[in-house]
Amino acid sequence: MQYQGEADYRHGSAERLGVLLLNLGTPDEPSTPALRRYLKQFLSDPRVIELPKWKWWPILNLIILNTRPAKSAAAYRAVWDHFGPGSPLLTISREQQKGLQDRLSAQMAGPVSVAVGMRYGNPSVAQALAELRDAGARRVLVLPLYPQYAAATTASSFDAVFDALKTWRWMPELRLVNHYHRDTGYLDALAASVREHVAEHGQPQKLIMSFHGVPQRYLMSGDPYHCECHVTGRLLAERLGLADDQWMVTFQSRFGREEWIKPYTDETLKSLPEQGIKHVAVICPGFSADCLETIEEIGQENRGYFTEAGGETYHYIPALNARDDHLDALARLIHRHTQGWVEHSGFDALADQHERGISQARALKLGAAQ
């Protein structure tokens, strides 16, 4: 094992709390080579593709990586710079980082640093952890920004954290946030975003809550993701006072020929107009930040499916992104998960101040005695 040595800790340096925000990732640029690198890393993750390596390797390297990167690059070019220069997901993640840094710095008893890491692409999880280490973080809260737990997202993010820390000589204290799918602040922010949309665009006949899909066999193997999506959907509908026929949960972004959890978002939107549903709004509660899967797939591609089938009014309700109520909810979530640490940080600061006072008093006494 090769350790990183002296950079792991600087003796005498001040300690602080670190918060590591994690999300899925993004290519470095919307080009075919960049997408090939990104997709290779993403689709090589055994948490994402649960197939034997001997079976998946030739499919990935001989077929997918020779065909999909160019198509994906074109899709990314269509959304690149959507929220400012560069990747939408990274742009929003940086805004979330800044918003949480400002809130936590004002609210926490001791010093705190917030860093952003991407499971695939840059900034990597290892880079984000190094940023926190260099800032003096000895306690780190790991917060994957996936409200609903899934092995392919949340657990994979934890894998990346542990892999990075294998090279550290002195590991920090860690706490992990598994999920927050029924968190009050999160649900209230979702409900507020829907109410704001309805106030501007009118009440849709049906609110579609579209979550990212996973293969059906993941559910059958015990992954709680499907259940947590439905819990979020039910609780959001209750907050909005929706009748059972005014909302539904669907799943998007399926990949390959395998059966995924249903109902599928695209097939649902194709079928609704013939049922007399001509006005829909779609929200993606599982995405903490807008990205390719929301801007292009939901905002554009699925809009086309609905209107081509006879739908008349289609709206995508943006992800919570850097809304104040979203960041306030995340800040409260961080407070809850750092209980004890927060007070400890404050206690350390007071203890250091006390020790300095004692040292100064001793020095004055010694000087007077001389």
DSSP 3-state of 285? coil
Q: Which two tokens stand for residue 77?
A: 């070019």
What is the rounded CA–CA span in Å between residue 329 and residue 312?
35
Note the pLDDT of residue 313: 98
Measure CA 333 to chain center.
14
Other CB atoms within 10 A of residue 6 CB = 9
Note the pLDDT of residue 350: 42
What is the rounded CA–CA span in Å between residue 86 and residue 115?
18
Residues making up the binding site: 212, 293
Q: Write down the domain spans for the chain.
A: 5-179, 184-317
- Tell me the CA distances in angstroms from 348 to 45, 61, 171, one per residue in order: 40, 52, 19
pLDDT in tens, the chain (370 residues): 555 544 555 666 678 999 999 999 999 999 999 999 999 999 999 999 999 999 999 999 999 999 999 999 999 999 999 998 999 999 999 999 999 999 999 998 889 999 999 999 999 999 999 999 999 999 999 999 999 999 999 999 999 999 999 999 999 999 999 999 999 999 999 999 999 999 999 999 999 999 999 999 999 999 999 999 999 999 999 999 999 999 999 999 998 889 999 999 999 999 999 999 999 999 999 999 999 999 999 999 999 999 999 999 999 999 999 999 999 999 999 999 999 885 444 444 444 444 445 445 454 554 554 5
Helix (H) or strand (E) holding 71: helix 65-79
Q: In what order do the strands lie in the sheet with 173-176?
A: 112-121, 16-26, 137-144, 173-176
Burial of 247 (0-12, 13-18, 19+ CB in 10 A): buried
Q: Which two tokens stand for residue 168?
A: 């550290």
Note the pLDDT of residue 14: 74
Residues making up the binding site for Fe(2+): 212, 293
- Tell me the CA distances in angstroms from 137 to 286, 307, 359, one per residue in order: 29, 51, 26
Other CB atoms within 10 A of residue 212 CB = 25
**Phi, psi (deg, nearest 5) at residue 264:** -80, 140
- Tell me the CA distances in angstroms from 285 to 85, 146, 218, 355, 356, one per residue in order: 25, 9, 20, 49, 49
Q: Which two tokens stand for residue 33?
A: 């080579």
Q: Judge whether 5-179 and 184-317 match in fold.
A: yes
Q: 0.85 cut: is pTM over it?
A: yes
Contacts of 141 (CB under 8 A, 6+ apart): 17, 18, 19, 20, 174, 175, 176, 177, 334, 337, 338, 341
Q: Which two tokens stand for residue 249?
A: 């949960």
Other CB atoms within 10 A of residue 57 CB = 12
| Class of domain 5-179 as given by CATH | alpha beta
Task: Look up the CATH number of domain 184-317.
Answer: 3.40.50.1400
Helix axes 184-201 and 225-240, enclosed angle (nearest 10): 50
